[in-house]
Amino acid sequence: MHPAKKISLIAILTAAFAAPLAALAAYTGDTGLTATASQAGLGAAPTPLAVTIGTVISTALGLVGVVFLVLMVYAGFIWMIARGDEAKVEKAKDTIINCIIGIVVIVGAYAITNYIVTQLAKGGATATTTTCPSPCVNGCNPDNTCK
Long-range CB pairs of 127-131 (<8 Å, 24+ gap) are: none
Residues of the chain with pLDDT under 70: 1, 18-29, 43-45, 124-140, 142-144, 147
- 101-117 pLDDT, tens digit per residue, is 989 998 898 889 888 88
Residue-range domain boundaries for the chain: 1-44, 47-125
Q: What is the pTM of this model?
A: 0.50
**pLDDT at residue 62, as a whole number:** 85
131 close to 144: Cβ distance less than 8 angstroms: yes
Task: Please give the angle made by the CA atoms of 90, 107 and 121, to the nearest 5 degrees.
Answer: 165
Task: Please give the angle made by the CA atoms of 60, 44 and 34, to the nearest 5 degrees.
Answer: 120
Distance, CA of 37 to CA of 44 (rounded, Å)? 9
**pLDDT at residue 142, as a whole number:** 66
